[in-house]
Amino acid sequence: MEIVILPDSAEVGRVAASVIADVVARKPDGALGLATGSSPLAIYDELARRAAAGELDFSRMRGFALDEYVGLDYAHPESYHAVIDRTVTKPLGMDPELVSVPDGLAQDVPAACAAYEAAIDAAGGIDVQILGIGANGHIGFNEPTSSLASRTRIKTLTPKTRADNARFFDSPEAVPTHCVTQGLGTILRARRLVLVAQGEAKAEAIAAAVEGPVSASCPASVLQLHEHATVVIDEGAASRLH
């Protein structure tokens, strides 16, 4: 695992964006794995800047989001369908037809999860997966105790994650209780992983992920099993590393 420690969030975004840009330049019809949340916004800003400057063309890239809330209308501004459209698809100039988000409104959730895995396979797999990390060590919405071999499936959000995400909703109770998320096994199949984290609130999770044992109690520790994983963090997020 490669660890890159940088002075601030904008720099984290720039360095992580260069990893993504290399993949897009080399394989303009490849597949990106997309995280939502605050952490990757600096990456998307930098990629959007480069796309606007004509340095990168995302029009043939596929995108696969990591996760989606269950039961939240896609018209809701905090559904990950809406968030991905607003923060990734439009600013990067991706083709909406080529961008997929797990189906949190499916009648048959297990069938929709299997179809999502099949769509990733049909696209030839994910070339580079962008990841944030929860304060409890989750990646995607794979909360602690998730199986290291898990695939896309429905999960219950922990009280900690619902509280952390309450800032996006009108009230803590409005945060959905369940999600559909790519599994840890799904994430590990991506050819390259780039995890970003900023701020001291993530320091403990980063230390557990990078220096702790590989364990379901810190799902992000599975990055230690991947041969091409890069962790790009600021000094706050690095503050608990030895």
Contact stretch for ligand F6R (CB under 6 A) within 19-27, 37-45, 92-100, 222-230:
37-45
DSSP assigned state of 174: G
User: Least distance from C-beta 53 to ligand F6R, angstroms?
Assistant: 26
Contacting ligand F6R within 55-114 (CB under 6 A) = 66-67
Burial class for 73, CB neighbours closer than 10 Å (0-12, 13-18, 19+): exposed
Contact stretch for ligand F6R (CB under 6 A) within 29-37, 100-108, 171-179, 223-231:
29-37
Burial class for 241, CB neighbours closer than 10 Å (0-12, 13-18, 19+): middle
136 lines the binding site for ligand F6R (CB under 6 A): no
Residue nearest to ligand F6R (CB): 132
Closest residue by Cα to residue 29 from 121, 95, 117, 101:
95
- Which of residues 6 and 26 has its CB atom nearest to ligand F6R in the complex? 6
Provide, for the chain, the percentages of residues in helix, strand and coil under a 3-state DSSP scheme, each rounded to the nearest 5: 40, 20, 40
User: Least distance from C-beta 163 to ligand F6R, angstroms?
Assistant: 12
Which residue in the block uniquely carries the two structure tokens 């096994």? Answer: 185
- Which of residues 23 and 146 has its CB atom nearest to ligand F6R in the complex? 146
Distance CA 96, CA 150 (A): 27
Q: Is 143 marked active-site? A: yes
Cα 36 vs. chain centroid, distance in angstroms?
6
- Tokens at 8, concatenated: 């601030």
- Tokens at 27, concatenated: 């394989």
Q: Which of 29, 38, 149, 159 binds ligand F6R (CB under 6 A)?
A: 38
- Which of residues 66 and 180 has its CB atom nearest to ligand F6R in the complex? 66
- Tokens at 209, concatenated: 């992920």
Check: CB of residue 79 under 8 Å from CB of residue 104: yes
36 lines the binding site for ligand F6R (CB under 6 A): yes
33 lines the binding site for ligand F6R (CB under 6 A): no
Contact stretch for ligand F6R (CB under 6 A) within 48-56, 129-137, 147-155, 170-178:
129-137
Given 81, 127, 138, 165, the catalytic residue:
138
Contact stretch for ligand F6R (CB under 6 A) within 7-15, 53-61, 136-144, 150-158:
136-144
Q: Which of 6, 21, 39, 70 binds ligand F6R (CB under 6 A)?
A: 39
DSSP assigned state of 2: E
Given 67, 68, 103, 127, the catalytic residue:
67
Closest residue by Cα to residue 37 from 90, 80, 3:
80
Residues acting as catalytic residues: 67, 136, 138, 143
Binding residues vs ligand F6R (CB under 6 A): 35-39, 66-67, 132-134, 138-140
